[in-house]
A and B are shown apart, each in its own frame.
Chain A
Amino acid sequence: MTRHIRHAAVLCALLLAALLVNAVRVQLVEAGSLETNPANRRVPIARFGQPRGDILVDGRPVTGSKDTGEQLRYERTYANGPLYAPVTGFASQVYGTSLLEEAEDGLLSGTDPMLAPLPLWNDLTRARSPGGEVRTTIRAAVQRAAFSGLGGKRGAVAALEPSTGKILALVSAPSYDPERLSGTGSAVADSWAELNRAREKPMLNRAIRRTYPPGSTFKVVTAAAALDSGTVTDLDAPTRSPDPYTLPGTRTRLTNEGDGCADASLRQAFQWSCNTVFAKLGVDTGLEPMVRTARNFGFNDADLRIPSAVARSNFDTSLDKAQLALSAIGQYDTRATPLQMAMVSAAVANGGSVRAPHLVDRTTTDDGDLVATTGQRTLRQAMHPATAMRLRELMTDVVEKGTGANAAIPGVVVGGKTGTAQHGVDNNGTPYAWFISWAQAPGDIEPSVAVAVVIEDAAADRGDISGGGSAAPIARAVMEAALKAAADADGGP
């Protein structure tokens, strides 16, 4: 019997070996795929097991964390949700993250290896660092001015500091409170469904994720191309433009809203936003210089990140002359995000140089140690510095004598350009009202703010020439707030 007992013992040993091999399989070999299985709650439990780092505006957090005591413990709160939603985005237990919450997720949730006291420290200790903080470039006063300026009208505002690319305001209206998406309950699911269903798309960040036909504001780009290419050398020389202008190769006659555009000089045409002059100017300049200049301003760039991805603004690269004529006045397939048009304005203000727009000034650990700063860099030189100087002159004229009078600020040099963009089938949609501008405080050597405003449902009054009525006052309020904030920052402690 002894031998048979030994055989049975061997069987038991085999069972043990099977268990041990299987344990190695589950706990080591397949552990990676099991741990990352989307149904494995350990990942979200760890993720929401500690307060999420905050996003700061002017040094004050605009986000918070609430301890719910539930399985996914900490929920995101927002101090002023709708105001900053286009900046922060949301951080939901169920629906993931968006915008800054998404772009800086590793830092905010504490997984960024840069937060660890030593390299590989967290891998060794299986610990997670407290969430870091994201300090934005947004100025609260500028953001508020833009938000209240839009006042719930569908539209967007982007404001930049031309010399650095810092984004001072990023507003999209109508907005929403991202806190409605924090947590796990059925209320969150309802909010999500409602926000996605809403016709006005409150979760769409119109400032960076939606493109509009830029209309007459694009004439800044066309003028820059014409001046840079030498098509126009004298701002005050007549341009030999007919009014109306028949698009080359067609019988379509292009007209203007006002008079006095026939044979106008570039200065006059810019001041009164003459479509005929700029359509012809685009054709005269030619496709290749137009495309090159548009690209240098930032059009056709699908890779811009602030750090959230920015929708690609478009200027077609293969056009016939009629299409080029329309594209040159910001119609046809020409499309731009509000941020892109703010970059156009900023380029003029900054001597032709386009600074990379960015939202994050620097990131720190939870106790304030620096993790990273966003370096200021030049994306491209949009135009010759001399051309930029002449465009500043043209844009100043628009505000002082032309369609942009509503943006004027007493004692401040303001340059601007209005725009009205037709859209829809046969251009029967309510036109988009645009205004792009920059402002230079007295005593400053260069403009300190550049703004783009777009309003989708501007009072259906086509007589309101090109955004000067509805969009320009918002731009003015934003510029005033920015100049004041800059003055306070300089004079303050």
Chain B
Amino acid sequence: MTGTRVASAPPTVPAARVPRRRGAELALLVLAVLLCVYGYCAVGLARHGSVPPGAAGYGAGLGLLALLAHLAVRLRAPYADPLPLPIAVLLNGLGLVLIYRLDLETPHDEAAPAQLIWSTAGVALFITVVLLLRDHRLLQRYAYVSVVAALALMIVPIFFPAVNGARIWIRFGGLSIQPGEFAKVLLAVFFASYLAANRGALAGAGRTVLRFTRLHLPTGRVLGPVVAIWLLSVGVLVLERDLGTSLLFFGLFVTLLYVATGRTGWIAVGLLLAALGAYAVGSFEPHVHGRVQDWLDPFASIDAGAGPNQLAQSLFAFAAGGMLGAGLGSGHSILIGFAAKSDFILATAGEELGLAGLCAVFVLYALLVERGYRAGLDVRDPFGQLLAIGLATIIALQVFVIAGGVMGLIPLTGMAMPFLAQGGSSVVTNWIIVALLIRVSDSARGRLAAREGG
């Protein structure tokens, strides 16, 4: 199995001519922008009975960003998948609407303008990546640069003061940056590159698990760097008390290891490690222990007379949404208080758009992840495959961890809902992820086109 390198042509691609589908992308972009402007107007109508004065500007701005991104794709990635860009624009625009809506409750603490600037920066980086990175395989050369940079980015915030119990921010000149967000992409590049180069050895080593003693050394030698990187990143994150990101890196690592080697033994070892780590951290680290307790009984603080905690407030918000939601601008998710615009942004979507709207949002994420996996299946080179799978998995895990957390499915860990949540570093990083997915999908489908054409 591990030797299978032939990526079968997807049945959706006609043999005669590979369509570029840029027109479909443009149409979807127009739809996405219109949906966002509609949401923006709905908030104003619900709150003040009039269309907000900034609606035209907001629509024009978002439309312009989408158009520029589209032109960049049309120019340099003509065969790219037409879905990721409209999905990203829609989610980003919806996030801006939700943050703007929550800003109305906190007139002295507006987050939407900054988020708009960060979104612009994100699209600018998207365009830069699409224009400058002609072939994703170039990244393979920078595997070790990536990992060093990733570690540096993760270590730097330790020297800055903790914010709300987590040392994951750098603050200077009024800007606060979460370097760990960028580290995600860099680590994905490193894992993909390293595993692509060593997967043969790793797959072989995997067999030795059964005969543990005799072939112990090669296993350690091959796996050593990877495990070391993983331990280091997890260690840094435990020091920074950012359990969510730690969980994300571990999930990414195990997934890519499995995809590269096909050895379920690694999964077993990985899950065992994860279980041990989770148990240890959950038992001994007070911050995380509290989160686990909250998850087990979200209403304990109410019974204790201390009022509902954030998770309980979040559940109240989702429940208030019901099937169809209260309508944009008509909910009370601001009761969640701190982090209502960032970690808990999904609660606002749940309350005001209802189960219907929430499922739509989940499906958008699922589509984005699916397109990433599609690109991974279609592209030929192992690095490209692992990179696409890695990036898509980052989105999938991130959505699961934070959405599951705020809805009481798993213990809550602070993490940004991709594109929706307030947080500049996160938005910029997600735009880079989409840009890389676009690049990989362009290679996958462009290769088919070249073969058909030649």
Contacts and interface: CB of A to CB of B under 8 A. Distances in A.
B437 to A, nearest CB: 14
B255 interface: yes
A23 interface: yes
B355 A28 contact: yes
A287 B382 CA distance: 103
Interface stretch (A3-11, A226-234, A402-410, A469-477): A3-11
B310 interface: no
Contacts of A13: 366
Contacts of B307: 39
Contacts of B358: 23, 27
A40 B308 contact: yes
A27 B354 contact: yes
Contacts of A16: 362, 365-366, 396, 400
Interface string A23-63: 11011101110110111111001000000000000000000
Contacts of B4: 1-3
B382 A126 contact: no
B367 to A, nearest CB: 10
Contacts of A2: 4, 7-8, 377
Contact of A34 (B262, B319, B355, B403): B319
Main secondary structure of the interface of B (DSSP, over half): helix
B204 to A, nearest CB: 15
A30 B258 contact: no
A457 B5 CA distance: 102
A459 interface: no
A442 to B, nearest CB: 60
B227 interface: no
Of B7, B259, B308, B392, most buried by chain A (CB within 10 Å of CB) is: B259
A126 to B, nearest CB: 7
A15 interface: yes
Given A12-B393, A26-B408, A3 B1 contact: yes
A23 B355 contact: yes
A353 B359 CA distance: 65
Given A3-B4, A42-B316, A23 B350 contact: yes
A39 B319 contact: no
A19 interface: yes
B370 A9 contact: yes
B197 to A, nearest CB: 14
A22 B408 contact: yes
A7 B407 contact: no
A18 interface: yes
Interface string B309-332: 000100110111111001000001
B335 to A, nearest CB: 6
A20 interface: yes
B142 to A, nearest CB: 23
Nearest to B333: A42
A19 B403 contact: yes
Contacts of A34: 315-316, 318-320
A5 B385 contact: yes
Contacts of B2: 1
B369 interface: yes
Contacts of A30: 315, 319
B260 interface: yes
A69 B56 CA distance: 30
A19 B362 contact: yes
Contact of B258 (A4, A15, A22, A45): A4
B376 interface: yes
Of A6, A20, A26, A31, most buried by chain B (CB within 10 Å of CB) is: A26
Nearest to B256: A8
B376 A35 contact: no
B280 interface: no
A27 B355 contact: yes
A406 B385 CA distance: 105
A8 B259 contact: yes
A226 to B, nearest CB: 59
B154 interface: no
Interface in B328-386: 332, 335, 350, 354-355, 358-359, 362, 365-366, 369-370, 373, 376-377, 382, 385
B319 A23 contact: no
Contacts of B355: 23-24, 27-28
Given A8-B373, A27-B322, A1 B404 contact: no
B412 to A, nearest CB: 13
A327 B321 CA distance: 61
Interface string B256-271: 0011101000000000
A40 B331 CA distance: 13
B408 to A, nearest CB: 7
A184 to B, nearest CB: 14
B439 to A, nearest CB: 18
A3 B392 CA distance: 17
Contacts of A26: 315, 318-319, 350, 407-408
B294 to A, nearest CB: 14
Interface in B72-119: none
B299 interface: yes
A108 B98 CA distance: 34
B302 interface: yes
Contact of B319 (A7, A9, A27, A126): A27
Contact of A23 (B308, B359, B377): B359
A39 B310 CA distance: 12
Contact of A39 (B1, B302, B399, B408): B302
B319 A20 contact: no
Contacts of A6: 377
Contacts of A35: 316, 319-320
B396 A5 contact: no
Of B316, B373, B377, most buried by chain A (CB within 10 Å of CB) is: B316
A123 to B, nearest CB: 12
A41 B332 contact: yes
Nearest to B307: A39
B389 interface: yes
A22 B407 contact: yes
Nearest to B308: A39
A50 to B, nearest CB: 14
A314 B260 CA distance: 87
A277 B154 CA distance: 100
B409 interface: yes
Interface in B1-41: 1-2, 4-5, 7-8
Contacts of A12: 366, 369, 373, 392-393, 396
Interface of B: 1-2, 4-5, 7-8, 255, 258-260, 262, 299, 302, 307-308, 312, 315-316, 318-323, 326, 332, 335, 350, 354-355, 358-359, 362, 365-366, 369-370, 373, 376-377, 382, 385, 389, 392-393, 396-397, 399-400, 403-404, 407-409
Q: In the A-B complex, list the 4 residue pairs whose CB atoms are closest, starting with the nearest.
A: A34-B319, A31-B319, A39-B302, A27-B355
Given A18-B400, A22-B409, 20 more contacts: A1-B2, A1-B262, A3-B4, A4-B258, A5-B373, A8-B373, A9-B373, A11-B255, A16-B365, A19-B399, A26-B319, A27-B323, A31-B320, A34-B315, A34-B318, A34-B320, A37-B299, A37-B316, A38-B302, A39-B307
28 contacts: A1-B5, A2-B8, A5-B373, A5-B385, A7-B258, A7-B259, A8-B259, A15-B397, A18-B409, A19-B399, A19-B407, A22-B407, A22-B408, A23-B355, A23-B407, A26-B407, A27-B323, A27-B355, A27-B358, A28-B322, A34-B315, A37-B299, A37-B308, A38-B302, A39-B299, A40-B320, A41-B316, A41-B335
Interface of A: 1-9, 11-13, 15-16, 18-20, 22-24, 26-28, 30-32, 34-35, 37-42, 45, 126
